[in-house]
Structure 1
Amino acid sequence: MTKNIKNPLVKPFVKWVGGKKQLMEVINLYRPKTFGRYYEPFVGGGSVFMNLQYSKTTINDYNTELINVYEVVRDSVDELLSILKIHAENNSQEYFYSLREWDRTGVLEKKSSVERAARFIYLNKTCYNGLFRVNAQGQFNVPYGRYKNPNIVNEEVLRADSKFLKKSTIKILKGDFEKSVKSAKKGDFIYLDPPYAPLVEDTHSFVGYTLNGFGYDEQLRLRDLFVKLDKKGCYVMLSNSSSKIIHELYKDYVETTEIVGATRMVNSKASGRGKVDEVLIMNYDYKTL
């Protein structure tokens, strides 16, 4: 891996709960210093791969609307910016709710990919705390955030991101996390950042829990994928909550598990906000790489 010349303007264009911006120093400390291809199956807001700015990168997410935004930023940034400027000029509580209604009235599926991407960014920048949350019907249901000056048209960043994403060696996928790393081989680096496991004491309490459809069965399947990639000779790093369940699932990697502190600002319970312990679980000793 040759040293990248980084563009400081390449950074996330959406706010994302659970984003790894605050942990980048730790992730960079523990990641392998040389590797083949980089994979990020749960890309979310993209703070890790945009910090790395590594050209041989594959990103993926199960959220098809989010991946549509990445594709539009790459392919149609001028048109995207022109629509975002219209949203910025019209921004108000009433306007926000009129756009939010699109996925309730059938309007969204009639819109172009660029119009959908512009709506996604606008709602993300103006909704409460930048949450992405949908109800059981798949409808975006976060309320208006009442910000004084939301940065809806972040032109410099969007243009820099577009240029970076246009590199022919960067691949954007959408779908299941396991399928996104099928081509990974020995020497590649995979960073896994799934929806976090809840801080419960026993498996029984966890079984009925899901976050974005990611429950115990999915965490178990992810652990099995971690082991499979390990056996392939890939470098694997996983972020998750420092919960009893996660420590149990990854007990074979206790020697290469690091507990780190991160600040969570969004949680339904006050006790879940502030400094909480998270884990970085690796299949390698970062000190020897």
Structure 2
Amino acid sequence: MAKINKNKLVSPFVKWVGGKRQLMPAIVSHLPKNIRELKYFEPFIGGGAVFFHLQPENALINDLNEELVNVYNVIKNNLNELIADLKKHENHPDYFYAIRKLDRTEEFKNLTDVQRASRVIYLNKTCYNGLYRVNNAGEFNAPFGRYKNPNIVNEPTLKAVNKFLNKNNILISKGDYSKTLSQADQRSFVYIDPPYHPISENSNFTGYVQGGWDIFEQIRLREACDQLTERGVKFLLSNSSAQFIKDQYEKYIITTVKATRAINSNGAERGEIDELLIRNYE
């Protein structure tokens, strides 16, 4: 499935909480040996680091975040218009906050898909810590980042991603992960990267999707993984090293890996931490 001659420019176009670039060696080493023969599924696509690293020929990617899924679709279908709109943006706090508050106004409904995608990329490149974050009302609320020269229009990456999405059989969907998982079969591989269960109260971050996640969502996902296993579908799942997660997936193969996390309200909890890779195959 994963091409030998991959295009290094095909890479995440937004920075996403819990991005997997730094964990890539560990993830790749735990993939099924026949990964190239399997259709790739990723129900929580986020920034797509694993997806873009593997560059599968056949894939179904999904996310619940409507604005993010729109960006993927616009890059695939309206690249030139997107690049032109991105070039209009200004790296200035007054301009930033004017663009940020659009989702609090009636005007937001009148934005085109291209304008919405351009807004997401612009805010991601210029907000503090490059952090996509919404409040419980679904409104973007990260502050201005004050970067001197943010790369708002990364044309080489956008063009490479556009070519990759169009050259291969890549389906893009929006909605609950369960719909995506229901389409996987024994000829599939599923990489699952959900919102992480908090190690502590301070470390909880699920602000990239309105409403966040709770313990019951984690249980529902584990039950979905049980169903994948019963159907003979291979999955690899990432999550925090919380004891609750270890208990939920105790019948699966669990590997502890080291990850560096820079986003936490408590500075002492930033840095290298344990994360889990969980799989249902040898």
User: TM-score with structure 1 length normalisation?
Assistant: 0.92
Distance 1:49 1:104, change over 3 A: same
Matched, 1:283 2:275: no
Show the counterpart of 1:18: 18
Show the counterpart of 2:227: 228
Show the counterpart of 1:63: 65
Secondary structure of residue in 2 paired with 1:22: coil
Show the counterpart of 1:266: 263
Equivalent positions of 1:115-154 (< 5 A) are 115-154=115-154
Amino acid in structure 2 at the alignment position of 1:275: E
Distance (Å, rounded) in 1 between the aligned partners of 2:168 and 2:9: 20
Equivalent positions of 1:199-278 (< 5 A) are 199-200=199-200, 211=206, 212=209, 213-253=212-252, 256-278=253-275
Secondary structure of residue in 2 paired with 1:160: helix
Distance (Å, rounded) in 2 between the aligned partners of 1:5 and 1:176: 33
Give aligned-pair identity as a percent. Answer: 50
Shift of residue 131, structure 1, vs aligned partner: 1.0
Distance (Å, rounded) in 1 between the aligned partners of 2:28 and 2:108: 39
Amino acid in structure 1 at the alignment position of 2:260: T
Shift of residue 62, structure 1, vs aligned partner: 0.3
User: TM-score with structure 2 length normalisation?
Assistant: 0.94
Distance (Å, rounded) in 1 between the aligned partners of 2:45 and 2:116: 19
Distance (Å, rounded) in 2 between the aligned partners of 1:283 and 1:271: 34
CA contact (8 A) 1:65 1:120 kept: yes
Secondary structure of residue in 2 paired with 1:252: coil
Distance (Å, rounded) in 1 between the aligned partners of 2:120 and 2:33: 35
CA contact (8 A) 2:2 2:56 kept: no
Shift of residue 128, structure 1, vs aligned partner: 0.5
Alignment deviations for residues 236-267 of structure 1 (CA, whole Å, 9 cap, x no partner):
100000011000100111xx210000000010
Secondary structure of residue in 2 paired with 1:107: helix
Distance (Å, rounded) in 1 between the aligned partners of 2:52 and 2:98: 32
Secondary structure of residue in 1 paired with 2:257: strand
Distance 1:2 1:145, change over 3 A: closer
Amino acid in structure 2 at the alignment position of 1:115: Q
Shift of residue 33, structure 1, vs aligned partner: 2.5
Show the counterpart of 2:47: 45
CA contact (8 A) 1:198 1:243 kept: yes
Secondary structure of residue in 2 paired with 1:109: helix
Amino acid in structure 1 at the alignment position of 2:246: H
The alignment covers a number of residue pairs equal to 274
CA contact (8 A) 2:124 2:132 kept: yes
Segments of structure 1 that go 5 or more residues without pairing to the other structure are none
CA contact (8 A) 1:10 1:50 kept: yes
Shift of residue 4, structure 1, vs aligned partner: 3.6
Amino acid in structure 1 at the alignment position of 2:231: K
Amino acid in structure 2 at the alignment position of 1:221: R
Secondary structure of residue in 2 paired with 1:94: helix
Equivalent positions of 1:107-186 (< 5 A) are 107-167=107-167, 169-186=169-186
Distance (Å, rounded) in 1 between the aligned partners of 2:2 and 2:173: 25
Alignment deviations for residues 193-222 of structure 1 (CA, whole Å, 9 cap, x no partner):
00000114xxxx8xxx88342111110010
Secondary structure of residue in 2 paired with 1:197: coil
Alignment deviations for residues 47-84 of structure 1 (CA, whole Å, 9 cap, x no partner):
11000001111100000000000000000000000010
Show the counterpart of 1:72: 74
Shift of residue 183, structure 1, vs aligned partner: 1.3
CA contact (8 A) 2:2 2:57 kept: no
Displaced runs of 4+ in structure 1, greater than 6 A? Answer: none
Distance (Å, rounded) in 2 between the aligned partners of 1:215 and 1:139: 20
Show the counterpart of 1:198: 198
